Structure 1
Amino acid sequence: MLTIYGVTRSRASRIIWLCHEIGIPFKQVPVIQAYRLPDPDAPDAPLNTHSPSFLKISPAGAIPVIQDGELLLSESLACTLHLARKYGQPFGPADAAEDALMLQWSFYACTTIEPDALTILFLHRAGQAQSGADQASINNAAERLVRPFRLLDDHLARSGHMLGGRFTVADINMAEVVRYAQSHGELIEQFPALHAWLADCQARPAFQQMWRERLAEPE
């Protein structure tokens, strides 16, 4: 059985969402991020990314990690792309061209969008203005996201999905990154096709199942 190391309140959410879409059974080992604990090295600390037993699995000390048979794999996008390829259509690539496009959009999400989207996630609070340097950081991040969001909006207005005319792992990978900026409604609502696509992605039963599991975890 597939094993996922990592709490759902992490990038493991991408993998869990895909597993629910495909129907892959999995065991989840809830490794929590060390930075979320007052003392991750305390004897009674829960299993976390500083725990010696986890560092044997992930010397980088990062979640998520999956164990798929003999394969031990880190990096969430590598994990989702591997599983999509392994289990195939409709979520995985139909051919080499689709495989390349799935890589392209996944890399675009993590390199061009994720850093600024994470700034908004960590600093923005449901549209409320922040003070001083935090607000300046939010404004700068939102400004930098206009260009990639416009590109996505134009693409989705024409295609409806990231590729192939259907919902695939590329939609999951992109949607989970765009979600980080979702609290900045003023930004997202500038792009109607992107806004509608994200809402459709998050209305899917598999996303809703993952999200319920995520909300059930401690903050």
Structure 2
Amino acid sequence: MLEAKGVTLRYGGSQILHGIDLTAARGHVTCVMGLNGMGKTSLLKALAGRHPMEGVVTLDGVALPDGARARAQAGIAYVPQGREVFPQLTVAENLETGFACLPRDQREVKQEIFDLFPVLHEMRGRRGGDLSGGQQQQLAIARALVTQPKVLLLDEPTEGIQPNIIAQIGTVIAGLRKRGDMAIILVEQRFDFAWGLADRIVALRRGEVLRDEARAGASREAVLADVSV
């Protein structure tokens, strides 16, 4: 389980996150929802070590070090909004950038990656910049999985993606949850997509937690109202 307590984030003189508490259990999808500008992406960046933050983040009871590289080595994988694939590198080379946080004897792209995303096997020699938006999104998720994460952070994985790829990404997330060996935190604007995958719903408003509850006990209408206003 990943547990964050008192996560506070400031940009210059502006406070973006206000003491957020959040837990993400292994084998579950925790969906963080809310309107644009409410702190969702900032929260994921803080958890991934991309921004200095106040508060404590632990994984299985052990406090995580600061910094993106250290957290990646600890098992936190981040798929950023906008994908951030390397356009001049091939698909295979993009995947291999995930080796950076792994011990040398674990640096391999397992067949499972290509089983999840067959198109990447077909296009492994093509440059990342030549892929469609949906293919780049699949590559970004696959690159994160190469790191063998314990926690997978996904920031708007359906943004700007065609419907058939959205469905494929949903199937992959559901399959990863079923495996039961990682916690998944999903930031998502598409309400139906998020609701269909979520085990737990966290709604943010102006950098604070407005709602945090199991989806099984939540009212769809109430959650939709919270994340739409």
Structure 1 length as normaliser, TM-score?
Answer: 0.32
- Greater gyration radius: 1
Greater share of helix? 1
Greater share of strand? 2
